[in-house]
Amino acid sequence: MGRTAGSLIAEGAGRQGLRYSRLNDFRAEHLMLGGAGGGSGSPATGLPVWRQQVQYAVGHTLNDFYSLQPEVRRETPVQFLLERRWPPKGNAFPSLLHYWEVKTTIAAELMRIVSCNHLQDIPVKLYEQWHVQVPELELELAMIFQLAWGSGMSGGGLKLQKFMVSGHEDVIAGFLHMSNVFCHKAYGRPAETVEVFSLLDGRNHCYDGACFSLDESLDYVRLLAVTLKQEEDAELAAKFGGSATDRPAASCYGLM
């Protein structure tokens, strides 16, 4: 899965024979969420398994819904699509009561949002991974955009939307910085707006896409890439023994 945004940038790097390490946004999120949420979580994310399953269901439900033409969306209950993606009752949820509380809350919030969210529009990016080269950092930034809409203004940037089961300040800040770098490198301008929905608490926040300067965001992403590389090397050292410096560095962060 994946496309390359800013094709001239990507092709230029290819012609010069450059091989950049890839920084995946979901790997960055895993790092920022490490240890969050408590309970028995996945070692890769620190998140409870139920929350990972619900996030997966939400992402695919939105993809199913907004893949439909606007006139078909109006006749398609989003809760019907959510039902097809929702995780089964099982040990992932602390209790049956919790299972139903989360399901009811998420379904109600999705119904509320889609009832007034770009009713006549077709998204320009929909749950796809996109890549762009960042020569200053010698890396390729890969991001998955759940929903991105075109601007109603001439020359405007994208309107990005991110849906989270529960809001997390570090993840939101990271998304703002990474999307700022991505949009500058792919399109030469920041996003017009970045809207983040936190479904379990019914909150959403809309940020100016230019709330950070490009230099600030480049510094943030540089630090993030270094930290991720250190974490990756530590994981490899723990898994295979010995020092990570004894092995050749990986050429990219792999998809999980």
Q: Which residue has the tokens 């039902």?
A: 83
Binning the chain into helix, strand and coil, the percentages to the nearest 5 are 45, 20, 35
pLDDT value of position 3:
52
The three-point CA angle 19-25-30 to 5° equals 120
pTM score of the predicted model: 0.80
Is 182 in contact with 130 (CB distance < 8 Å)?
yes
Q: Say how far residue 204 (Cα) sits from the centre of its chain.
A: 16
Beta-carbon contacts of 101 under 8 Å, excluding residues fewer than 6 positions away, are: none
pLDDT value of position 29:
87
The three-point CA angle 141-139-233 to 5° equals 100
Give 183: exposed, middle or buried? Use CB within 10 Å, 0-12, 13-18, 19+.
Answer: buried
3-class DSSP state of 22:
strand
pLDDT string in tens for the chain (256-residue length): 445 444 334 444 444 456 788 999 988 888 888 743 444 445 455 578 999 999 999 999 999 999 999 999 999 999 999 999 999 888 899 999 999 999 999 999 999 999 999 999 999 999 888 999 999 999 999 999 999 999 877 667 899 999 999 989 999 999 999 999 999 999 999 999 999 999 999 999 999 999 999 999 999 999 999 988 887 777 677 777 755 444 443 333 332 2
